[in-house]
Amino acid sequence: MDENTKNGLLLEIQDLTIQYVTDSGTVHAVENLNLRLGRGETLGFVGETGAGKTTTALGIMRLIPSPPGVIQSGKIIFEGQNLLDKSEPEMRGIRGGKIAMIFQDPMTSLNPVMTVDKQIAEMIKLHKNVNEAESLKLAGDMLELVGIQRERMHDYPHQFSGGMKQRVVIAIALACDPGLLIADEPTTALDVTIQAQVLELMKKLKQQFDASMILITHDLGIVADICDKVAIMYAGRVVEYADKCALYSNPVHPYTIGLFNSVPDLDEDKEVLNTIPGLMPDPMDLPSGCTFHPRCTYAVDRCSQTKPEMIHVGDGHLAACPVLAKARG
Ligand code: SF4
């Protein structure tokens, strides 16, 4: 066991760069990404579509479609071992067994022609040394744990509502007691009332299973409710990283400030919502220097020339903006 594992660090991503190399150019999906996740922690990954959140998650799972995807450089150290050094058979043991992923649309994870108990049991048999009968018994237990009656274990996915399907997906994900759960916008496809129930369930089970979680979302309300730490991503980079409380009380990066300003205030009677001016840059043609500079109201001349490094602005709080780090740190 190395020093980091002993200290309670579960996952450390070092200088991860992932690209999609296509005939029309190279998509810079993730660039020099650094992150750390402690045991039992929940990290919120926040950013607009195309920021690199899902690509990072797929990179951790080693599920980047290749070609065109290429992990160009970096390390993904999980429980003290670099996942990028693992063979595909080794990764098959890690996926589902030690790291599980929940996707936005439950139907992409569920097999429509297999009853839900068999789908959960299949995952259990893959990672645990149990026979068919034991795996089906455990599958029933898992369904009950996520709030689905055991009598429904022989039903097919189409016989469940969207929220119930996502509960089945959660049951599959947790069936083998993984150390890390990655949830990619797990409630976006659900009705608002069901979203709250599913999030509450995930929060409860994460504690019960003592798992760490990466929650990918664009919803700062969900982050406030569930996460301990937050990484704000923009154009393939983490631009701010902090404890939830530090981030919400003192956002430093102009993009983070823009995200908070874009959240509608129910007490204010406004006809037009605040937005961040401009659009996310084309990942095949990223702006020079700070990639946020064309949209940034705080930009100075040097912003278009120098790529900002992450700067410490407080205890465990980093932001990639030298201009505001000094003023707000
Ligand atoms: Fe804005 Fe410059 Fe800071 Fe980038 S480095 S966020 S352009 S002020």
pLDDT digits (tens, 9 = 90+) for 99-123: 999 988 888 889 999 999 999 999 9
Least Cα distance to 211 among 45, 99, 80, 44 occurs for: 99
Q: What is the mean pLDDT of residues 142-166?
A: 95
The DSSP element (H or E) to which 212 belongs, if any, is strand 212-217
**pTM of the entire predicted model:** 0.93
**Cα dist from 64 to 18, 54, 84, whole Å:** 9, 10, 12
Kindly tell me if the per-residue pLDDT of 264 is higher than 90: no
- Nearest atom in ligand 1 to 255's CA: 6
Report the percentage of the chain scoring pLDDT > 90.
85
Neighbours of 289 (CB within 10 A): 16
The 10s digit of each residue's pLDDT in 179-222 is: 999 999 999 888 888 999 999 999 999 999 999 999 999 999 99
Where are the domains positioned within the chain?
A: 253-329
The 10s digit of each residue's pLDDT in 19-32 is: 999 999 999 999 99
Kindly tell me if the per-residue pLDDT of 73 is higher than 80: yes
3-state secondary structure of 76: strand
The CB of 241 under 6 Å from ligand 1? The reply is: no
Neighbours of 285 (CB within 10 A): 10
The CB of 167 under 6 Å from ligand 1? The reply is: no
- For ligand 1, pick from 286, 323, 328 the residue to mutate: most ligand atoms within 8 Å of CB: 323
- Whole-number Å distance, alpha carbon 19 to ligand 1 midpoint, is 24
The CB of 296 under 6 Å from ligand 1? The reply is: yes
- Nearest atom in ligand 1 to 308's CA: 5
The DSSP element (H or E) to which 169 belongs, if any, is helix 162-174
The DSSP element (H or E) to which 255 belongs, if any, is helix 254-262
Q: What is the pLDDT of residue 274?
A: 82
Residue the block writes with tokens 């095949």: 284
Q: Which residues contact 184 (CB under 8 A, 6 or more apart)?
A: 53, 54, 57, 101, 102, 103, 104, 216
The DSSP element (H or E) to which 30 belongs, if any, is strand 25-38
- Nearest atom in ligand 1 to 321's CA: 3
Across the chain, what does the average pLDDT equal? 93
- Nearest atom in ligand 1 to 300's CA: 2
- Whole-number Å distance, alpha carbon 321 to ligand 1 midpoint, is 5
